[in-house]
A and B are shown apart, each in its own frame.
Chain A
């Protein structure tokens, strides 16, 4: 029985890496622009579909599709921000919720119309390959996606803290007017930030094909998970997304094993509620609180 729990834990951690990755994108967007991106999960879905179509259409190994997903979602995110979301950056938050919700409707339903609701699986010759370790089964693919997730989060963190662009992003988040007074083109930074957030989300989506089938409606649940992750880890705090993602991955995995899914969802949401009430800055205490 304990073996089952440990296996469940491992599965949770591996999934948690993905949660952490795209939630970091979500957190970044909120932290810098104050925008709650309800279409975030759909960006993940698009990344997954890019991988699927390149796999089926061009015979590319899924891992080789990652750069395309990153590039494609970066461009999409950049344009989304520049053309639409930029209009609501200074406005009351509700505007960004509704705008991104409208985008969610458009993206997910266009995908539905174009690609139908049929779930698509991405299976390669090595899909079933596992690393056997102390009686546990660690699927190679999931292990690799986990390492990539960690690596990219680390890269993001490094970029934000040790490059001029990263500093510019931070400055824009902390004092927009002053940022302009140091020569920073704030609109461009916003677009860049959104593009970055979208790119790592696309990456996460491409890697999610190792965990589940791809279908147009898969985005919204992931968006909701992102909410939970950033509330846990602290809004706008990137390392917090890692912590939140891992915790949520573990909790999700273990609780589905122990309870029925309905009660575990109810408990998760109720805990989320309590978290917001009593510790809005997240477990780490470093989240942005209004």
Chain B
């Protein structure tokens, strides 16, 4: 399982204008893992994903590139190039294309794949994984419920057949039942070989299914350990699992 890491982040620093939001963040994701990044609002979790996807300008506090994917630097790449390289992002709030139908959203996920047949096959797979979407196929996405939109966003990301999936708070604003469905979906995708990096606020769920986790606070990595260890860590329990 531990060949070279799929994703390597070294001393990542990121800015919004003049304001620094990430300070020397380092982490890695190995092939086939589910890695969680947890932390409070404003910690910089979304920014982290943004840096990987090329949406946010990043640089390294050390020498060399800040973000390495499969050994190659992602620094300075445009989002459309990163996506073409096999990484897909499910952004915060799903961000489905509101005026397009559920089906069109999914088809668009496979934009980079010119092979019609393959597209159809992946479509069948995705609809099989999320039967709810099948029912809503011709509905405009804006009329779908929050949970359905989240499923749609994940399905859309899967349509590009990525090797690496990033999820930004997939459980945000969702009913607990819906949340389990989503997480079960993520686990099953992972079992089929997809590496996952998950940014979450629902700490219990995230840590339960993750192989490893990082705690990000105020733009810095505070803790890093296996999912199990983090769940029983006293700091994490007090700060995030307060009963």
B100 lies within 8 A of A183 (CB): no
Decide: A183 and B84 in contact? CB cutoff 8 A. Answer: yes
Q: Which residues of chain A from 137 to 181 have any CB-CB distance to chain B below 8 Å in the complex?
A: 161, 164, 167-168, 170-171, 174-175, 177-178, 180-181
User: When each residue 80-112 of chain B gets 1 if its CB lies under 8 Å from chain A and 0 otherwise, what string results?
Assistant: 100110001101000101111000100111011
Q: In the complex, A167→B55 CA distance in Å? A: 22
What 10 pairs between A and B have smallest CB-CB spacing?
Answer: A180-B79, A183-B112, A183-B83, A178-B95, A174-B97, A167-B108, A171-B97, A180-B80, A183-B80, A183-B111
Whether a CB of chain A sits under 8 angstroms from the CB of B149 is: no
**Contacts A180-B80, A182-B156 given; does A167 touch B107 at CB 8 Å:** yes
**Residue B160 interfacial (CB < 8 Å):** yes
- B16-43 interface with A by 8 A CB criterion: none
**How many residues on the A side are at the interface (Cβ–Cβ under 8 A)?**
17
- Nearest neighbor of B54 in chain A, beta-carbon distance: A180
Q: In the complex, what residue of chain A is closest to B112 when comparing beta carbons?
A: A183
Q: How far is the CA of A177 from the CA of B97 in the complex (A)?
A: 11
Q: List 9 A-B contacts (CB under 8 A).
A: A177-B79, A180-B78, A180-B79, A180-B80, A182-B109, A182-B160, A183-B84, A185-B80, A186-B80
What is the distance, in angstroms, from A188's C-beta to the closest C-beta of chain B? 9
- Contact yes or no, B99 A181, CB < 8 A: no
Q: Which residue of A lies closest to B101 (CB)?
A: A161
By a CB distance below 8 angstroms, the chain A residues around B111 are 164, 167-168, 182-184
Q: A181 and B89 in contact (CB under 8 A), knowing A171-B100, A174-B98, A174-B99?
A: yes
Q: Which residues of B contact A184 (CB under 8 A)?
A: 80, 111
From B78, B89, B97, B107, A175 is in contact (CB under 8 Å) with B97
Min C-beta distance of B228 to chain A, whole Å: 33
Q: Provide the bound-state CA to CA distance between A168 and B107, in Å.
A: 10
Identify B108's interface contact among A168, A177, A180, A185, CB under 8 A.
Answer: A168
- In the complex, residue of chain B having the shortest beta-carbon distance to the beta carbon of A188: B80
Q: How far is the CB of A181 from chain B (nearest CB, A)?
A: 5
Contact call A175/B112, Cβ cutoff below 8 A: no
| B51 proximal to A (CB < 8 A) | no
Contact status B53-A182, CB under 8 Å: no
**Interface residues, chain B, with chain A CB atoms under 8 Å away:** 53, 55, 78-80, 83-84, 88-89, 91, 95, 97-100, 104, 107-109, 111-112, 156, 160
CA distance A224 to B95 in the complex (A): 36
> Measured between alpha carbons, how far is A178 from B80 in the docked complex, in Å?
10
Rounded to whole angstroms, the CA-CA distance of A214 and B53 in the bound complex is: 51
A window 63-102: CB within 8 A of B: none
Q: Chain B CB within 10 Å — which of A167, A171, A175, A183 has the most?
A: A183
A175, B95: Cβ atoms under 8 Å? yes
Chain A residues near B160 (CB-CB < 8 A): 182-183
Residue from B78, B88, B108, B109 with most neighbouring chain A CB atoms (10 Å): B108
Provide the residues of chain B in CB contact with A171, threshold 8 Å. 97, 100, 108
Q: Counting chain B CB atoms within 10 Å of each CB, which of A170, A175, A178, A182 scores highest?
A: A182
Residue of A nearest to B98 (CB): A174
- Tell me which residues across on chain A come within 8 A of B97, comparing CB atoms: 170-171, 174-175, 178
Q: Annotate A181-212 by CB proximity to B: 1 below 8 A, 0 otherwise.
A: 11111100000000000000000000000000
Find the residue from B95, B111, B160 having the highest chain A CB count within 10 A.
B111
Closest chain A residue, CB of each to CB of B85? A183
Supposing A164-B108, A167-B107, A170-B100 touch, asked if A181 and B91 sit within 8 A by C-beta, the answer is: yes
Known contacts A167-B100, A171-B97, A175-B95: A181-B108 contact under CB 8 Å: no
- A137: shortest Cβ distance to chain B, in Å? 43
Known: A171-B97, A174-B97. A181 touches B79 (CB 8 A): yes
Please give 16 more A-B residue pairs, beta carbons under 8 A apart, in addition to A170-B100, A180-B80: A164-B107, A167-B100, A167-B104, A168-B108, A168-B111, A171-B100, A175-B95, A175-B98, A180-B83, A181-B55, A182-B111, A183-B84, A183-B111, A184-B80, A185-B80, A186-B80
Considering the chains assembled together, what is the distance between the CA atoms of A168 and B160 in angstroms? 14
State A168–B95 Cα separation when bound (angstroms): 15
> With A and B bound together, what is the CA distance between A186 and B54 in angstroms?
14
B78 partner residues in chain A, CB cutoff 8 A = 180
The closest CB in chain A to the CB of B159 belongs to A182
| Residue picked from B78, B80, B98, most chain A C-beta under 10 Å | B80
